[in-house]
Amino acid sequence: MIDKYIIEFKQLIKIGIPIFGSQMSYMLMGATDTLIAGRASSADLAGLAVGNAFSTTLWMFVSGVLFSVTPIVAQLYGAKKYTEIGKKVREILWIALFLGLSICLILMNMGLFLNLLPIEESITSISTEYLKAVSIGYAFITIFTCLRCYSEGMTLAKPVFYIAFGGMLLNIPLDLMFVYGWFGAPKLGGVGCGYATTIVSFVMMIALILYIYISKHYKKTELFSGYSPPSAETTKEVFKLGFPIGFGIFIELSMFSGAAIILGILGETVVASHSIAINIASLFFMVPLSIGLASATRVGNLIGEQNPRQAKVASYTTIYMCILGALINSLIIIVFRTSLVGIYTTDLLVLDLAVSLLIFAAIFQIPDGIQMGALGGLRGYKDTFIPMILLFISYWIFAMPIGYFLTNTGFNKPLGAAGMWYGMIIGLSIFSFLSIGRLNWIIKKTLRTKS
């Protein structure tokens, strides 16, 4: 029996490590933008931050919809329906094109909304121009994401990593050129990050298209061998699977955004400390996230192969790996918490509070890792709607109200920032139990159906 778990452990590592590399590359692109724009001026950094607050929220929803491509392709790949994969992805590319153009048009005109907000014009003007510059890039990256999920669904995660890593490296000189005006380029400040992102997105899209066209690993799907018009059936399938994923991501993001808003009244020291702790927690979350994304591929492959018993093993292996990764993350955060915070700030008040909050961030890793492992398996089974409902219950009905109460009132006295972290940990713990319960139910249902 243990041999089956070892097989799945190896498969998840094989798929998960390149996905981890890709996720880190995407995160480092954003970190490069923030670092280089911040050195240009505080207004450029603020303008970039405001612009990203809107564009990232929209993008996470769109990318969530496209994440449905992975289990769709994974199940067809496991069933060896290779030409059907090509046809299906051609039909989904129409959806990606529509979503990409939609987000492009929204961001191009976001300035109309930004001007209504009580934010200084010096900041909103940068945000508006940044969003115009990056808008076309989102159309490119939407196509890239569709093809990325197609590739990962066939367990071909390495090519995506190589291209994402190359994009991250290319982003550095482009940021320097357009932000600071190096090498004869116009000096655009924070707006330049938008142009750099658009160029990188275009290069990544073209690179992945060319690689898929040339590589023998994709030939059997015949992706570029014909023309497929938009399909109502495929569109329905994508949104049925993808909308709950996208909305679930929005629910999770809203919890973190809501936490920042609730803590905002406690002053800039609390907000800064909380932001640092969340940032560090998010960085370590890349480990269970990558395992969960790998699980969606592996479980989907096994379901397509009509091998539900091994899919069960893969699902449980994912959770065990996520728990192990979370425990290691927690240990690292606790041992090195002062050094980690020191990377972000030299302000002693902020540093002391952030260090204390990292204890919560370490505990946070455990339920966060478990829920990501369960979600990965559920996506492999194409089960996304009920998990979205469970996310809503856990985060908006439990985490946020409890966090608000503990932060501002408490049972004996207000707990401040710690109260919000208690709330988030409680919400995540509830969701981790609910999601594992849902996964067990889906596994049993699948086994009964196949027997």
Domain ranges within the chain, ordered by starting residue = 17-230, 241-445
Beta carbons of 390 and 431 less than 8 angstroms apart: yes
The confidence band for 119, taking pLDDT boundaries of 50, 70 and 90, is low
Beta carbons of 198 and 141 less than 8 angstroms apart: no
pLDDT at res. 63: 92
Average pLDDT of the residues in 69-96: 95
Residue 110 pLDDT > 80: yes
Convert the pLDDT of each residue in 248-299 to its tens digit.
Answer: 888 887 787 777 777 767 776 777 787 788 878 888 888 898 999 999 999 9
% of the chain exceeding 70 in pLDDT: 98
Residue 251 to residues 8, 247, 391, Cα–Cα distance (Å): 31, 6, 7
Element (H, E) at 222: none
% of the chain exceeding 90 in pLDDT: 61
Which one-letter DSSP state was computed for residue 226? S
Q: Measuring CA to CA, which residue among 446, 440, 296 is closest to residue 373?
A: 296
* 402, two tokens: 């409890």
pLDDT at res. 450: 67
* 98, two tokens: 């529509």
Task: Please list, in sequence order, all residues whose beta carbon lies within 8 angstroms of the beta carbon of residue 325, skipping any fewer than 6 positions away.
Answer: 287, 288, 291, 369
Beta carbons of 204 and 141 less than 8 angstroms apart: yes
Which one-letter DSSP state was computed for residue 397? I
The confidence band for 333, taking pLDDT boundaries of 50, 70 and 90, is very high
pLDDT at res. 3: 80
282 burial (CB, 10 Å; 0-12 / 13-18 / 19+) is middle
Q: Which of 4-18, 274-288, 297-311 has the lowest mean pLDDT?
A: 274-288
Calculate the average pLDDT of the chain: 89
Residue 160 pLDDT > 70: yes
Q: Among all chains, which residue has been given the structure tokens 């390495």? A: 158
* 409, two tokens: 């009132």
Distance CA 366, CA 325 (A): 9
pLDDT at res. 283: 83
What residue type is assigned to position 347 of the chain?
A: D
Distance CA 444, CA 451 (A): 11
**Reported pTM:** 0.88
pLDDT at res. 111: 81
Distance CA 6, CA 284 (A): 24
Residue 32 pLDDT > 90: no
Convert the pLDDT of each residue in 387-428 to its tens digit.
Answer: 999 999 999 999 999 998 998 887 888 888 888 889 999 999
pLDDT at res. 55: 85
pLDDT at res. 37: 81
* 218, two tokens: 């994709």
Beta carbons of 204 and 140 less than 8 angstroms apart: yes
Distance CA 329, CA 335 (A): 10
Q: Measuring CA to CA, which residue among 442, 155, 451, 149 is closest to residue 307?
A: 451
Convert the pLDDT of each residue in 171-201 to its tens digit.
Answer: 999 999 998 888 888 888 888 999 999 999 9
Terminal Cα distance for the chain, rounded: 20
Distance CA 137, CA 101 (A): 10
Task: Please list, in sequence order, all residues whose beta carbon lies within 8 angstroms of the beta carbon of residue 368, skipping any fewer than 6 positions away.
Answer: 281, 285, 288, 326, 428, 432
3 state DSSP class of 131:
helix
